[in-house]
Chain A
Amino acid sequence: MNASRMSSHLGEWLRGSGPESDVVVSTRIRLARNLAGEPFTTRATPHQKAEIESRLREVVDLLELEHPLKYVSVAAMPAIDRQFLVERQLISRELAGVLEGPRGVAFDEPETVSIMVNEEDHLRLQSMRSGLELEAAWATIDRVDDAIESRVEYAFTDEFGYLTACPTNVGTGMRASVMLHLPALGLAKQIDKAFKALQKINLVVRGLYGEGSRALGDFFQISNQITLGKSEVASLNDIRTVILEIIKYERMARSTLMREARQNILDKVARALGTLQSATMMTSEETMELLSAVRLGVHLKIVGDLSPLTVNELFIHTQPAHLQKLMGEPLDGEARNAARATYLRNRLRTAGSSS
Chain B
Amino acid sequence: MKCHYCQNAASVHLTKVVNKTISEMHLCEACAREKNLIPNSPNDLNVPAVLQLAFGQSPIPIRPVQMESTCPVCGTPYAHFRAQGRLGCPHDYDVFRPLLEPILERVQNGSIRHVGKLPGRHRRRLTIARRAELESKLKLAIEVEDYENAAKLRNAIRELGVEHER
Contacts and interface: CB of A to CB of B under 8 A. Distances in A.
Interface string A105-143: 000000000000000100000000000000000000010
B84 interface: yes
Contacts of B104: 160, 167, 170, 228
Given A36-B90, A43-B89, A229-B108, A156 B113 contact: no
B100 interface: yes
A153 B86 contact: no
B119 A154 contact: yes
A146 interface: yes
Interface stretch (B36-44, B50-58, B120-128, B140-148): B120-128
A231 B115 contact: yes
A153 B90 CA distance: 12
Nearest to A157: B93
A232 B109 contact: no
B117 A43 contact: no
B85 interface: yes
A228 B88 contact: no
A305 B126 CA distance: 57
Nearest to B126: A158
Contacts of B109: 202, 225-226, 229
B87 A149 contact: no
Contact of B87 (A38, A167, A228, A234): A167
Given A167-B107, A202-B109, A228-B111, A160 B93 contact: yes
Given A146-B120, A158-B126, A229-B114, A39 B107 contact: no
B4 to A, nearest CB: 18
A91 to B, nearest CB: 19
B122 A165 contact: no
Residue in B85, B100, B103, B119 whose Cβ sees the most chain A Cβ within 10 Å: B119
B21 interface: no
A117 B126 CA distance: 29
A223 interface: no
Interface in A167-183: 167-168, 170-172, 174
Contact of B119 (A156, A165, A231): A156
Residue in B74, B117, B118, B129 whose Cβ sees the most chain A Cβ within 10 Å: B117
Interface in B63-116: 74, 76, 84-90, 93-94, 100, 103-104, 107-116
Interface in B116-162: 116-122, 126, 129
B88 A230 contact: no
A89 interface: no
Contacts, number: 118
A92 to B, nearest CB: 15
Given A156-B118, A161-B114, A232-B116, A39 B108 contact: no
B contact patch SS = loop
A310 interface: no
A167 B116 contact: no
Interface in A202-250: 202, 225-234
A14 B93 CA distance: 39
Contacts of B76: 43
A40 interface: yes
B121 A158 contact: no
Nearest to B114: A161
Given A167-B108, A227-B108, A229-B114, 13 more contacts: A142-B117, A156-B122, A158-B129, A162-B114, A162-B117, A165-B87, A166-B87, A167-B103, A167-B107, A171-B115, A202-B109, A226-B107, A232-B117
17 contacts: A40-B87, A43-B86, A142-B117, A149-B120, A153-B121, A157-B90, A158-B114, A159-B112, A159-B114, A161-B114, A166-B85, A167-B108, A170-B114, A171-B111, A230-B111, A230-B115, A232-B117
Interface of A: 34, 36-40, 42-43, 120, 142, 145-146, 149-150, 153-163, 165-168, 170-172, 174, 202, 225-234
The 10 closest A-B pairs by CB, nearest first: A229-B111, A161-B114, A155-B90, A231-B116, A228-B108, A43-B88, A163-B90, A39-B89, A172-B116, A39-B74
